[in-house]
Amino acid sequence: MSATEVKDDRKYTKDHEWLSDDGKVGITAFAVDQLGDITLVDITVKPGDVIEPGAAFGTIESVKTLSDLFAPVGGKVVAVNGELEDKPELINDDCWSAGWMIQLEGAEGGDLMDPATYGKHLEESDH
């Protein structure tokens, strides 16, 4: 997995989170590369919760750092990836599919980039 990999079927935040068409939320390959080996994912929302764009929904811990996880959009939480509790390394192994974190319904708001814009963000900014 390349740190500059961008999937065409997602929208992105400047902070390297992605949102898929089905409402799943995760972090990008760039974020995974910056974090290093992920050791713990603590998702603090549960199905039925309603969250606002930019709201913290948990934390992610790696060998390098502890970071908050922020919702790229608002919506109703309809699913949480419970596998991450026992297997946080799923994010390192496959941040685009198996490593999704939460799924939102009625996703709205947020400042999202299309894949081309996010790709330029990776190339041109200090990230």
Q: State pTM to two decimals.
A: 0.93
pLDDT digit string, tens, across residues 34-71:
999 999 999 999 999 999 999 999 999 999 999 999 99
pLDDT digit string, tens, across residues 117-127:
999 999 886 55
Q: Is residue 91 part of a domain?
A: yes
- The pLDDT assigned to 98 comes to 97
Query: In angstroms, rounded to a whole number, what is the distance separating the alpha carbons of residues 2 and 45?
Result: 30
Q: Is residue 96 part of a domain?
A: yes
Query: In angstroms, rounded to a whole number, what is the distance separating the alpha carbons of residues 84 and 5?
Result: 22
Write phi, then psi, for 70 (nearest 5 degrees).
Answer: -120, 140
- The pLDDT assigned to 101 comes to 99
Q: Is residue 73 part of a domain?
A: yes
Q: How many domains does the chain have?
A: 1
Q: Is residue 123 part of a domain?
A: no
Q: Is residue 115 part of a domain?
A: no
Q: Which domain holds residue 91?
A: 11-106
Q: Is residue 75 part of a domain?
A: yes
Query: In angstroms, rounded to a whole number, what is the distance separating the alpha carbons of residues 97 and 116?
Result: 20
In 3-state terms, what secondary structure has residue 36?
coil
Q: What is the CATH number of the domain that holds 101?
A: 2.40.50.100
Q: Is residue 89 part of a domain?
A: yes
Which of 42-46, 96-100, 108-112 has the weakest average pLDDT?
A: 108-112
Q: Is residue 97 part of a domain?
A: yes
Q: Indicate if the pLDDT at residue 78 is higher than 80.
A: yes
